[in-house]
Amino acid sequence: MKKIRCAIYTRKSSEEGLEQDFNSLHAQREACAAYILSQASEGWSAVPTPYDDGGLSGGTLERPALQRLLADIEAGRVDIVVVYKVDRLSRSLLDFARLVEAFDKAGTSFVSVTQSFNTTNSMGRLTLNMLLSFAQFEREVTAERIRDKIAASKARGMWMGGNPPLGYQPDGRTLAIVDEHAEIVRHIFARYLVLSNVRLVAGELTEQGIIAPQRTATTGRTTGGIPFSRGQIYKLLTNPIYIGEIHHKDQIYAGKHQAIIDRATWDDVQRKLADNLQGERAASRAKSPSLLAGRIVDQEGEPLVAAHACKNKVRYRYYVSRSLQHEPDAKPTEGLRIPALEIEAAVIQAVADALDDPLDLLTRAGIPLASDRLRTIFRQAEQLASAIRRKQRDTIRDLVSKVTADRGAISIELSLEALCRTFAIEPAPSTTPTISIISPVRLTRTGRAVRLIQRDGRPVTQGKPDPGLIELLRKGQGWWRQIQTGEIDIATIARDEKVNDSWVSRLVRLNFLAPALVEAILAGTQPASISAASLRTADLPIDWNDQIALFRI
């Protein structure tokens, strides 16, 4: 019979009588202990740890014994919480809802001895759901009242709190202009109209020593005192507060505050922003920017589209043939689906290696070089290669104009204009606009995806172990130890994991994987032939040498 661990929680609001040998806390504990004893046939037993809060109100959750109880519940040391009455746990409906939510998260039940309240059965859970429904109703009604009040106030042009934008400070229910900061805002709008590029505006501000003014937020947090970021500038350029408007959802209202920017300047800036954002998302705001978006094609010249997929809250990026993206009937084998990290790593490596010998690049382009410029060019090439290896997106996209993913190799076209600009040299009149370099990696298909393989069979991206492969090894070894000691059998594991026996058996076999294969997986240097799918489905030989030959190490 499974042992069910029961924690008894007691509470008394006042300290009166606590000095007595037998007080209210003792009485509550005895009643709860007797109830637990009556359920001994079900496996119930009281944990010895006392959880007693004397002289503390039930209107707060900040109680020492209660916090210790919650910590033990989160640690998995309590199965059922037993109290004398519900109000011993909390007198606040909202606090009670929070407690029950914490209990549910940990799989812990709740029992009230004197009130027929027991969440281990269906009736107790029904009662609990009714109480929580009323709590939810109270929260939603309160939220609706707040939302309605905010909407009505904004319709009258009022400022409804929060951190004011640069150039303003709160003034009751409106905003007052801070003249010194407002001049910076006007300068940013004016420079964007001239430069038409947020990155260039940010760079110019930094060169001129114009930084974000230091301000203290409503929370007391100090911000500013550093150069403007591109994100800050973009947010500033799109904030309608600066033309005297208050926006609320899809509605626009005239604000009570004065405008800093005139309507004509605002409209011109918004048109430029809209033109610059067409076709490509601003990568500085992307969580995982695709370095080669809009630059990469297959051997037929068909563009590969930057795409992603999420699995177990992990985001995986790919470059996918347009046909696979837009034609639902297309077969996976008819197009390419290349892991972004792999092909980006191959391109970065090839470009950086080519920059290690800048004279070869420029000679191939037919550009004559003066001897007094060689030392400078080598130094600039070294700096450029370092920026490429650090994956500086702007630098890579400025230099790489096109990438062609072929079956046998990756062809990369470098912008000659960008190279000459970096090296401060003039291109020869007869030179072509690009210089081609080759990355000697080949494509191999693994299921739907295409992998990039080096000439010796190793994957392009190395040195970073695959957490999925390591998890398979961990499971296989853990299950094998349990089976050896007789704690469990394959059928039980399969039932607990909700998989079939064959799947468990295949993972247990990984405990007998050749040490060379295990070391390669842990180091992240395994060949592309080793994947989670191949380990689960391969007919694994007993002999280690045969295993190594099977996976072509």
DSSP secondary structure string, 102-154? HHHHHT-EEEETTTTEETTSHHHHHHHHHHHHHHHHHHHHHHHHHHHHHHHHH
Q: Is 84 helix (H, G, I), strand (E, B) or coil?
A: coil
Which residues touch 197 (CB under 8 Å, ≥6 apart)?
276
Q: Is the pLDDT of residue 431 over 70?
A: no
Angle of helix 198-207 relative to helix 230-237, nearest 10 degrees, comes to 120
* The predicted structure's pLDDT at residue 203: 85
Reported as a pLDDT band with limits 50, 70 and 90, residue 279 is very low
Q: How far apart are CA 10 and CA 50, in angstroms?
A: 9
Strand-pair partners of 54: 12
Q: How far apart are CA 380 and CA 159, in angstroms?
A: 52
Nearest to 425 by CA among 438, 434, 416: 416
- Six-digit token pair at 464? 């970073």
* The predicted structure's pLDDT at residue 128: 65
Q: Could you identify the residue written with the tokens 């359920």?
A: 39
Average confidence (pLDDT) over 387-401? 86
Q: For residue range 291-328, list pLDDT tens digits in order.
A: 888 888 888 888 888 887 766 666 778 888 876 665 54
Nearest to 272 by CA among 209, 189, 339: 189
- Dihedral sign of CA atoms 313, 326, 412, 452 in order: positive
Average confidence (pLDDT) over 198-224? 83
* The predicted structure's pLDDT at residue 194: 86
Which residues touch 62 (CB under 8 Å, ≥6 apart)?
none
Q: How far apart are CA 1 and CA 3, in angstroms?
A: 6
DSSP state of 461: S
Name the CATH superfamily for 168-278. Answer: Putative Large Serine Recombinase; Chain B, Domain 2 (3.90.1750.20)
Domains 4-134 and 168-278 share a fold: no
* The predicted structure's pLDDT at residue 189: 93
Nearest to 296 by CA among 318, 329, 327, 275: 318
Give the Cβ contact number of residue 455 at 10 Å.
Answer: 8
Percent of the chain with pLDDT strictly greater than 70: 82
What does the chain come to in residues? 553
* The predicted structure's pLDDT at residue 334: 63
Q: For residue range 474-526, list pLDDT tens digits in order.
A: 888 888 888 888 778 888 888 887 778 888 888 888 888 888 888 777 777 67
pTM of full prediction above 0.85? no
Question: Is the Cβ–Cβ distance between 35 and 74 less than 8 Å?
Answer: no
Q: Is the pLDDT of residue 8 over 90?
A: yes
Show me where the domains of the chain are located: 4-134, 168-278, 296-453, 467-550
Question: Is the Cβ–Cβ distance between 260 and 242 less than 8 Å?
Answer: yes
- On whether the 4-134 domain is CATH 3.40.980.10, my answer is no
Q: Is the pLDDT of residue 283 over 50?
A: no
Nearest to 362 by CA among 419, 279, 319: 419
Average confidence (pLDDT) over 3-27? 83
* The predicted structure's pLDDT at residue 285: 45
Torsion of CA 228, 231, 234, 238, to 10 degrees: -120
Distance from CA of residue 292 to its chain's centroid?
21
Q: How far apart are CA 507 and CA 484, in angstroms?
A: 15
- Six-digit token pair at 534? 């191949």
Strands (DSSP E) along 406-519, which ranges?
410-415, 434-439, 442-446, 449-453
* The predicted structure's pLDDT at residue 47: 92
Residue 372 or 81, more confident: 81
Nearest to 412 by CA among 402, 421, 426: 402
* The predicted structure's pLDDT at residue 69: 93
Q: Residue 46 belongs to what H/E stretch?
A: strand 44-46
* The predicted structure's pLDDT at residue 136: 60
Q: How far apart are CA 541 and CA 539, in angstroms?
A: 6
Q: How far apart are CA 323 and CA 307, in angstroms?
A: 13
- Asked which of 205-214, 353-362, 516-525 is least confident by mean pLDDT, the reply is 516-525
Distance from CA of residue 5 to its chain's centroid?
37
Q: For residue range 119-149, list pLDDT tens digits in order.
A: 666 776 677 667 656 656 666 777 788 778 8
Question: Is the Cβ–Cβ distance between 453 and 444 less than 8 Å?
Answer: yes
Q: Is 420 exposed, middle or buried (0-12, 13-18, 19+ CB in 10 A)?
A: middle
Percent of the chain with pLDDT strictly greater than 90: 11
- Six-digit token pair at 461? 């991206």
Q: How far apart are CA 94 and CA 114, in angstroms?
A: 22
Q: Is the pLDDT of residue 113 over 60?
A: yes
Question: Is the Cβ–Cβ distance between 547 and 514 less than 8 Å?
Answer: yes
* The predicted structure's pLDDT at residue 242: 92
Q: Is the pLDDT of residue 464 over 80?
A: no
